[in-house]
Amino acid sequence: MAVCAALGAGGFYIFTAPAALEADYASDLNADVNAGQLVFAAGGCVSCHATPGAEGSDKLVLAGGLPFASDFGTFYAPNISADTTHGIGAWSLDSFALALTKGVSPQGSHYYPAFPYTAYTHLDPQDVSNLYAYMQSLPASGTPSKAHDVGFPFNIRRGLGLWKLMFQSDEYVLQGNLSDTVARGRYLAEGMAHCGECHTPRNGLGGLKHDQWLAGAPNPSGKGRIPNITPAKLDWSEADLIEYFTSGFTPDYDSAGGEMAEVVSNLSQLPQSDRAAIAAYLKAIPPVD
């Protein structure tokens, strides 16, 4: 019995080990701060990590604190400002990339998937490098990150290694022979903008149901439902979608509200070609009724 327990514990330790970053991840890249600003906008970093209630330029002080309620507890966005003590100002590019694409802290522990690293795993090293350079240029805040309110057994972070084995993948949902425009839209929607994190339902363990990709999901706040944006329900033209991502106005002259208003604010900063690419992607994904 003791031998079986030891083998089980050893297996658990091996299979739940945090992933490592690829060797020489971005050693030959030159960062572009301006390009990093666009990655920052597409990723919606401000929407989660700005101090709640911040306006204008104060939203670039990424002190965190926004709560995210879930069935597993309440998570709080951390301080990711350039502060070297309470933020990520002391992180190397490799530490930043490890956190962003693998969900692993510089200390080697798993991050909770409230941080959408399962989407950011698609980001290429150049975009990660650009984003890192831009974020290091932003203001620092000495506000300590708030501890997550998560009880047993979800507070055992090592167990997240098993969760990642089941639900973290480098594979895209939309497969096939894609045009360059749709492929760019896939990179943006499934990666940077992480649309599936809100618009796709989850199973009992919090993993996304890829067979119902973008088919809508309960709102974590308990109020209403996040809509189905597959072609089965969203019949807007590509031009309609581009306009919505630019101005927030729907074809019926309604306007984006709630969290989607923040998304539109982010997408409107991207080149027109990127908004068109996301629109083309949404028209190409399989309809889910």
**pTM to 2 decimals?**
0.92
Residue 15: what pLDDT? 61
pLDDT per residue as tens digits for the range 76-107 = 999 999 999 999 999 999 999 999 999 999 99
- The domain locations on the chain are 24-167, 180-284
CATH of 180-284, one of 2.40.50, 1.10.530, 2.40.30, 1.10.760: 1.10.760
Query: What tens digit of pLDDT does each residue of 207-262 get?
Result: 999 999 999 998 877 778 999 999 999 999 999 999 999 999 999 989 888 889 99
Most confident of the following: 50-59, 123-132, 221-230: 123-132
Burial letters 163-185, b for 16+ CB under 10 A, else e:
bbeebbeeeebbeeebeebbbbb
Adjacent-strand bridge partners of 67: 76
Please give the distance of CA 179 from its chain centroid, rounded to a whole number: 24
